[in-house]
Structure 1
């Protein structure tokens, strides 16, 4: 039986009229989608409005990107857990009481918690938001040497149990490489994992588009900025007009700290094999123009349904691979709605 279509590719903005395959959508099960807005009009998201960090009429931010990220970092509780020969860094936003339902966010390859900069505070209005820097990325130490993602996922899962306490139930959402690790955590987890949502996932056994990226480590100044912009436009964004100063600042910070190489896993079946063993509800989301999946999104949904027939699937119109940033408000709404429909929270 086909999985439930939770977000769809509408013929008109803001309506729910069809799926990536062209089939109709059951609106009783689905949710209306919103397109990504051109020129970064949703750029700072609701969390920035909540802090008074509005954009002006031309779309410019009132505060420097570094100040925005620093303010978000100050709002977090930072925790460390063991990781290889060092420590793994975690950040937590939202209420600290035991009744708050945790939502754990895994960032993408060569990334950090900053990949979720436009999502953290809107989601923290409803959930306890937990973001690690995955092993070998951001502020976290390298994991022990491993030929597969499974041992890395085990390190992350152990850290999560330390933070939340044994047996505390949580929902997990992973982006790109984070989706791969989320799948392996799901394969290892017991009843403590209530649901897993995969975003922009690879490693489903399907070929992906070749994306030519520019190396940035040996360049500086304007050339480095141009290289970041090229890479974001090639891989992460559907519309280069949505690349703003905050996105460039996040890309620079992430690139400086990235040591763990994850791209080699993308063309494997590692996620498909792992997620087959998940015992919780599974969902898969893409931006409509995700560079690693377009134009064959439906093939990826089919690959997931081969091992998880009841999986929810969805497409957010007008967005690229980094859908949680480029279409932040739509992404936040869809993720929360899917969680409510699947598990009631």
Structure 2
């Protein structure tokens, strides 16, 4: 098993990191870091997971083990986040997505089919990758997506860079409760450890993209099946989740949609079992693999 709920966060994160195959591709003036888990080849195309803003591959800590049983799971640190270098300067998400797509092509090989799932900022980049991709992209799943041309409630976050100790932990708890979790009781030591590491390593600022229609405009050009998932109490969509589905269907009428009850924005962590099952079922029902 790759994952255990009884280990200290640092031990679990280090073990999962060691279990990965690590690779690098060009990014900006440096490199983009990718990790792979699970079997290569076989009937199941690779599943590529793009994490959220100010995040890293660690956003998928509760999903990698379950999803990599049958297929290879690939998680990068997105440009300017985690261990990856800053992208070339860009005014829109499209050039950043192009750098990610180029890295993925270098990683998988030209024409290799794959499924793509992006969370929050990763969903935005995934939509722009889908607009640029050819038949190698088998499916697109958007999770907790913004930038669909709809207003969202303002989420007040506490700055943590200038505080230390218990005040810093309290700030992380506040931010996770305000934006990422529906139930603050779910904020455990692992979530706090991930939030701390991600915050320390985040340089690229993506929040300015979230209130645009950039994702909706990009995903209109996607030539693969599209799905959109939210936690029921996602702070960027609640209480108007259905309006997001309507907005997507205006450009992708056949899109699949799903809501996971009781979960917030970081649905893949807060409701990992339900999320893993829903994503796996969507892929199996659409393609049989």
TM-score > 0.5 by shorter chain: yes
Contact preservation (8 Å) 2:3, 2:12: no
Q: How far apart are 1:260 and its partner, in Å?
A: 0.2
**Counterpart position of 1:243:** 187
Confirm whether residue 114 of structure 1 aligns to residue 96 of structure 2: no
Please report the TM-score for the alignment, with normalisation by the length of structure 2. 0.98
Q: Residue 179 of structure 1 corresponds to which residue in structure 2?
A: 123
Is 2:113–2:136's contact at 8 Å kept on the other side of the alignment? yes
**How many Å apart are 1:98 and its aligned residue?**
6.3
Which one of the candidate residues 1, 7, 12 is aligned to 1:68? 12
Larger helix proportion of the pair: 2
CA distance in 2, matches of 1:327, 1:52: 16
Q: Distance in 1 between matches of 2:149 and 2:3?
A: 45
What aligned pairs does 1:1-345 form with structure 2 within 5 A after superposition?
50-51=1-2, 53-54=4-5, 62-97=6-41, 100-345=44-289
SS of corresponding position for 1:82: strand
TM-aligned CA deviation for residue 97 of structure 1: 3.6
TM-score (norm 1): 0.83
**Structure having greater relative contact order (Cα 8 Å, sep ≥ 6):** 1
Deviation >2 Å, runs of 4+: 50-54, 96-100
Q: Give distance in 2, aligned partners of 1:227 and 1:127.
A: 37
> Gaps (5+ residues) in structure 1?
1-49, 55-61
Deviation at 1:100, TM superposition (A): 4.7
Corresponding residue pairs, total:
289
Deviation at 1:52, TM superposition (A): 7.2
Other structure's SS at 2:103 match:
helix
Unpaired segments of 5 or more residues in structure 2? none
* CA deviation map 1:97-118 (0-9, x unaligned): 4655200000000000000000
Larger CA Rg, structure 1 vs 2: 1
